[in-house]
Amino acid sequence: MAIASNFLIGANDEHGLNPPTIGKRTPTMPYIDRSFYENEFNRRAKNAFIEACLRCGFNVLDVKPEIQDISITTRVRRINSAQTTLVVTFAYNAFGPGTSFNSANGFEVFYSPLNQFATRSRELSEDVYEQLVNFVDNNGRGISTLNVSLLSAVNCPSTLIEAGFMTNFEEAKLMLNPIYITQVAEGACAGVCQYLDVTYIPKDDLSAYPTLRRGNQGNKVKLLQYLLNRYGYNLSTDGIFGANTLNAVRDFQQKNGLTVDGIVGRNTWNSLLFPQGKTVRQGDRNACVVYLQQMLLSKLYPVGEIDGIFGTNTLNAVRDFQAENSLEVDGIVGPNTWEALDIIGGGRPLP
């Protein structure tokens, strides 16, 4: 087996969100009266892929850490300057004019025959596709060629994942589903591991997460910072456990009922990685509420801002979900409500 730390993995997300790239969005989603933008999926999937790669021991280059769109020329230059081992790009597909939903469906993996490492790009794409089939609850469309600059102009093998169709109503809802995002990211990481002959370490293997404290440095600290940023901490992902990271850890621990010692041990890792499942109700403010809000929105129940605060909007969304799924309408998210929520797909139907 190869050693993961010998490789630098490039992670790229297509398009931008602030401002959103024009046209890269779903038709207006019913019940919530807004579109889902492509980069709402792409960026979260890329970050989850980075987390998975760091867990498995790789070095990682975030090709586009910016929220806004960045030119392909700039991204190619970053990749080539860093002497990246390979690049994985996350995207979402569309079919037709994009103003209405249609039946085009499934995920697909692309490579460019114009890449100077075309054969290796194809092999990378084959391994990524094989693992996505194993990880993802969606239809696979296979592997295709695509001659775009980010696939053809980089000096390393490169692959692009179109994880679904924004113009398919059910797959549009998957764009914001945290379970689906994790499946795509973990499948991509497993494919990279297979391609490079590196051992894939599953997300739930808690032995992969060492105890961390102020003064530590390295990729596991960087992983910690990416996870904390999921919950709005906006840390620099520099791999240095300094004062800002310490303050974020303590704040996270306080909000999630953990010992507030600033030390990231098993309980803190577990809460960062698997926030779901705890009973939550109006007034709670924690990572579990963030996950709850993401799941409700992906099923088209309006929750307002994804802020981790179980307020009136979230309460109304929970009650509507319970009423429409034959659950006790008490506004409390306990085992039965979680069981109904934690399903890939589903949610409100197309009117």
The CATH number that applies at residue 91 is 3.40.630.40
Q: How confident is the model at residue 74 (pLDDT cuts 50, 70, 90)?
A: very high
- Are both 184 and 59 inside the same structural domain? yes
- Are both 166 and 258 inside the same structural domain? no
Q: How confident is the model at residue 33 (pLDDT cuts 50, 70, 90)?
A: very high
Report yes or no on 347 lying in a domain: no
- Are both 142 and 192 inside the same structural domain? yes
Q: What is the pLDDT of residue 173?
A: 98
H, E, C per residue of the chain: CCCHHHCEEEEEECCCECCECCCCECCCECCCCECCEHHHHHHHHHHHHHHHHHHCCCEEEECCCCCCCCCHHHHHHHHHHCCCCEEEEEEEECCCCCCCCCCCCCEEEEECCCCCCHHHHHHHHHHHHHHHHHHCCCCEEEEEECCCHHHHCCCCCEEEEEEEECCCHHHHHHCCCHHHHHHHHHHHHHHHHHHHCCCCCCCCCHHHCCCECCCCECHHHHHHHHHHHCCCCCCCCCCECCHHHHHHHHHHHHHCCCCCCCCECHHHHHHHHCCCCCCECCCCECHHHHHHHHHHHHCCCCCCCCCCECCHHHHHHHHHHHHHCCCCCCCCECHHHHHHHCCCCCCCCCC
- Are both 267 and 302 inside the same structural domain? no
pLDDT by residue (tens digit) across 83-94? 999 999 999 999
Q: What is the pLDDT of residue 52?
A: 98
Q: What is the pLDDT of residue 150?
A: 94
Q: How confident is the model at residue 228 (pLDDT cuts 50, 70, 90)?
A: very high
Q: How confident is the model at residue 325 (pLDDT cuts 50, 70, 90)?
A: very high
- Are both 17 and 101 inside the same structural domain? yes
Number of domains comprising the chain: 3
- Are both 260 and 292 inside the same structural domain? no
Domain end call among 229, 249, 273: 273
Domain end call among 273, 298, 314: 273
**Full residue range of the structural domain in which residue 317 is found:** 287-341
Domain end call among 273, 302, 320: 273
- Are both 55 and 113 inside the same structural domain? yes
pLDDT by residue (tens digit) across 113-171? 999 999 999 999 999 999 999 999 999 999 999 999 899 999 999 999 999 999 999 99
- Are both 112 and 153 inside the same structural domain? yes
Report yes or no on 314 lying in a domain: yes
Q: How confident is the model at residue 232 (pLDDT cuts 50, 70, 90)?
A: very high
- Are both 147 and 229 inside the same structural domain? no
Q: What is the pLDDT of residue 137?
A: 92
Give this prediction's pTM.
Answer: 0.98
- Are both 257 and 120 inside the same structural domain? no
